[in-house]
């Protein structure tokens, strides 16, 4: 029992350390789906909650809580249990611990991520951010999806198994530094299914690793991305992977063998400084590089996402149009680059140790190792 209490106390201290580093003008609330919170007599006291600052068991409980205000942050703690689907109706920052935590080093003091089937951003959630969540297929065709139904939404550093689905006539959607997994064979974007659907015209899709197709068109529309830069596309081989219009398609890498693209109705306007696996793709565009052997461009081994890093000494690792590295780990501004495991821009406690023996007059010695992310 003492051992359990010890490590529970350490976990609370680590969480408090993270919270103290977040924006101070708003409140950060904890969510852990193993909390005993019932909103009446129990307030997540098994995870350190109190009536004033409960530890909610689900995201929707936190959203419904009257003291959770627009601009607040929900810290979704890692768990072995998949979180219930969330419907966001307030402007919130929802931040999870990231993904691939058992693969990459110095990313977490445990390997638990925050899995959820679906997040819906509904009326009232304008200007919200979703960061560090693992959006998985939990058995329903609607799972593995983030639904964007309002303007000015940021989806950042998440792992997404199915897609981002859009409502009609939206503005300001920022899809940044995410990992679109090939676990579920689907397109990265999806419309709302209506024949009257009008796609957003100012989506920014930068520094993502995309193992899916990104075909943002059908018989009713051709979608426009305001920017599509510094991505790695590694979808199905030997088929069309990319189809959309954009004012900027630069510093991307088309990794899978034989994949093709149809940018700006095939004109290749605004297509510059990309590295491709097929010689005919973007032929004649400024800075285009054909890399017939992608194996020598990327590191020879690594984790699920670190294996997308480029070899520093590769002859095919040439700078992009801005002078920085091409692909998801490139870009002039370091904070805009893909971050391993989707870690948020907060300190991360990655190791906690103790002798387990109290020292007279000094208490129990505990060693905590942490690092700060961009």
Residue 320 inside a domain? The answer is yes
State whether the Cα torsion 174-177-179-185 is positive or negative. Answer: positive
- Total domain count, the chain: 1
CB-based contacts of 129, cutoff 8 Å, min separation 6: 92, 93, 94, 95, 153, 154, 155, 156
What mean pLDDT value characterizes the chain? 89
CB-based contacts of 121, cutoff 8 Å, min separation 6: 88, 128, 130, 146, 147, 148, 149, 150, 153
- CA nearest neighbour of 350 among 372, 328, 329, 332: 372
Centroid of chain to Cα 112: 16
Residue 193 inside a domain? The answer is yes
Residue 103 inside a domain? The answer is yes
Residue 369 inside a domain? The answer is no
pLDDT at residue 155 is higher than 70: yes
Residue 162 inside a domain? The answer is yes
Residue 131 inside a domain? The answer is yes
Q: According to the model, what pLDDT value does residue 4 have? A: 38
Over the stretch 108-124, which tens digit does the pLDDT of each residue have? 778 999 999 999 999 99
Distance CA 252, CA 326 (A): 6
Residue 215's domain comprises 78-345
Centroid of chain to Cα 334: 16
Output the pTM of the full model: 0.89
pLDDT at residue 7 is higher than 60: no
Give the residue carrying structure tokens 């406690």: 349
CB-based contacts of 25, cutoff 8 Å, min separation 6: 71
Mean pLDDT is lowest, of 75-89, 136-150, 218-232, 346-360, for 346-360
State whether the Cα torsion 39-41-46-51 is positive or negative. Answer: positive
Residue 60 inside a domain? The answer is no
Residue 326 inside a domain? The answer is yes
């Amino acid at each position: 029992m003492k051992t359990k209490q010890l490590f529970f106390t350490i976990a609370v201290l680590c969480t408090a350390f993270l919270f103290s580093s977040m924006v101070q003008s708003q409140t950060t609330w904890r969510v852990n789906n193993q909390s005993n919170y019932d909103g009446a007599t129990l307030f997540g006291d098994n995870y350190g909650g109190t009536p004033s600052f409960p530890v909610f068991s689900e995201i929707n409980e936190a959203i419904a809580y009257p003291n959770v205000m627009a601009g607040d942050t929900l810290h979704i703690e890692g768990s072995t249990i998949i979180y219930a689907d969330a419907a966001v109706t307030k402007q919130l920052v929802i931040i999870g611990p990231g993904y691939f935590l058992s693969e990459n080093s110095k990313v977490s003091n445990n390997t638990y991520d925050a899995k959820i089937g679906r997040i819906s951003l509904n009326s009232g959630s304008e200007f919200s951010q979703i960061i560090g969540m693992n959006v998985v297929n939990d058995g329903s065709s609607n799972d593995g999806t983030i639904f964007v139904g309002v303007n000015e939404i940021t989806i950042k550093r998440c792992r997404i198994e199915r897609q981002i689905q859009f409502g009609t006539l939206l503005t300001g959607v920022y899809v940044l530094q995410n990992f679109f997994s090939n676990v579920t064979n689907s397109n990265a974007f999806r419309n709302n299914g209506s024949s009257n659907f009008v796609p957003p015209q100012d989506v920014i899709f930068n520094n993502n690793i995309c193992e899916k197709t990104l075909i943002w068109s059908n018989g009713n529309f051709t979608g426009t991305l305001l920017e599509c830069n510094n991505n790695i596309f590694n979808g199905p081989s030997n088929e069309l992977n990319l189809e959309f219009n954009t004012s900027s398609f630069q510093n991307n890498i088309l990794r899978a063998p034989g994949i093709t693209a149809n940018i700006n109705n095939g004109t290749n306007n605004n297509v510059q400084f990309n590295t491709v696996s097929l010689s005919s793709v973007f032929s004649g565009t400024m800075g285009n590089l054909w890399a017939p052997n992608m194996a020598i461009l990327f590191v020879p081994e690594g984790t699920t996402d670190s294996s997308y890093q480029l070899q520093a000494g590769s002859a095919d690792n040439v700078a992009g149009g801005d002078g920085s590295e091409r692909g998801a780990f490139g870009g002039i501004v370091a904070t805009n680059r893909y971050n391993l495991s989707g870690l948020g821009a907060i300190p991360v406690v990655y190791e906690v140790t103790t002798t387990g023996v109290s020292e007279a007059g000094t208490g129990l010695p505990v060693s905590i190792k942490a690092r700060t992310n961009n």
